[in-house]
Amino acid sequence: MALTRITKLFILGLILQLTFASASWAEGYARPELLITPKSLAGKLKKPNVRILDARKKGDYKKGHIPGAVSLFYNELVDFTARKKKGYPVFPNVAEKILGAAGIGADTQVIVYDGGEGPPASGLWFVLDFFGHKNVSVLNGGFKRWTKEGWPVSRDKVRVEKAKFIAKPQPRKVVTLRWVKKNMRRKDIMLVDARSLKEYIGEAVLSGASRGGHIPGAVRLDWKRLAGDVNSYKSADELKQEFAKKGITKDSKVVTYCHQGVGRATDLMLAMRLIGYDNVLVYTGSWQDWSRDPRLPVEK
């Protein structure tokens, strides 16, 4: 009798474990292809149609980078005039020149990484996605995870053959100051500020901004809350919990912004896209744009 009871408990335990495992699998990333692991990337290092982009500062790149990676600091593809006038991160002709010089053509698989922090890599991902390049993944955990797992590092200069990159802007993925002014009071729109608390309450004013504070009605979700172990993105369930704390669900219509629009704001966008939250746009002008107009309201 005792053995039967133990057996039943054992079987019940197995059933619960299997149920939990199935639930965990079902709650995984909706778009896992947006990320790549160091192990998977290591198997692609010598493939001819793969281009690896290092989004860090050039000084960091020179100290050591993933073999074959091309240095492309993400701020090279951020232009205030383009963001203010059209909402584009940079003008199309500039994107074509820089991305073409990096060896990216229509059929190139692009893998982007940064130091592991997230915003720089998400910035390049966003620019490529905005200009219509679909085959782009971000190295989850970045260079920090790459080195921690013991994968090779190089200091060699990398030269690539130029390619023809054709920019196909998708303005439906961004909003401008005019759009924010018109829609900021709508109850079905959520403005999400990805900056630090000091920036949000006006104690810190970064270069390029004229005033401190935040856009009225915006909720703050610090981009750092999206990272888990070794700066990798948190699991799908954990990301959903972080968004839920701010009232953000899959059906929410979200506009993210940060200081310059490409970086922390795009990190939030990537995290949301990763778990299948598609109703997300980026205010690319962000705080640099909003703060410069003294007629616009500011909260602190």
| Statement to judge: residues 179 and 55 lie in one domain | no
| Statement to judge: residues 151 and 221 lie in one domain | no
- pLDDT value of residue 208: 96
Per-residue confidence band for 230, with pLDDT thresholds at 50, 70 and 90: confident
Q: Is residue 119 one of the residues assigned to a domain?
A: yes
| pLDDT, mean of residues 64-80 | 98
| Statement to judge: residues 253 and 237 lie in one domain | yes
- pLDDT value of residue 231: 87
| Statement to judge: residues 71 and 139 lie in one domain | yes
| Statement to judge: residues 212 and 257 lie in one domain | yes
Q: Is residue 3 one of the residues assigned to a domain?
A: no
Per-residue confidence band for 160, with pLDDT thresholds at 50, 70 and 90: very high
| Statement to judge: residues 36 and 153 lie in one domain | yes
pLDDT digit string, tens, across residues 175-200:
999 999 999 999 999 999 999 999 99
Largest distance between two CA atoms of the chain: 80
- The three-class DSSP label of residue 255 is strand
pLDDT digit string, tens, across residues 239-294:
999 999 999 999 999 999 999 999 999 999 999 999 999 999 999 999 999 999 99
Give the CATH number of the domain where residue 69 resides: 3.40.250.10
- pLDDT value of residue 25: 35
| Statement to judge: residues 158 and 201 lie in one domain | no
Which token pair is 196?
Answer: 């630090």
Mean pLDDT of the chain: 91
> Of 169, 200, 231, which one is at a domain's C-terminal end?
169
Range(s) of the domain holding residue 215: 172-291
Residue 112 backbone dihedrals phi, psi, to 5 degrees: -110, 140
Helices and strands (H and E) in the chain: how many: 12, 10
| Statement to judge: residues 269 and 158 lie in one domain | no
Residue 130 backbone dihedrals phi, psi, to 5 degrees: -60, -40
| Statement to judge: residues 220 and 259 lie in one domain | yes
- End-to-end alpha-carbon separation of the chain, Å? 68
Per-residue confidence band for 172, with pLDDT thresholds at 50, 70 and 90: very high
Q: Is residue 209 one of the residues assigned to a domain?
A: yes
| Statement to judge: residues 212 and 275 lie in one domain | yes
| Statement to judge: residues 123 and 218 lie in one domain | no
Q: Give CA–CA dist 44/278, Å, rounded.
A: 29
pLDDT digit string, tens, across residues 249-264:
999 999 999 999 999 9
Q: Is residue 297 one of the residues assigned to a domain?
A: no
Question: Based on the structure, what is the number of domains in the chain?
Answer: 2
Length in residues, the chain: 300
Reported as type and span, the H/E element at residue 280 is strand 280-283
Q: Give CA–CA dist 64/75, Å, rounded.
A: 20
How far, CA to CA in Å, does 270 sit from each of 46, 163, 265, 274? 27, 26, 9, 6
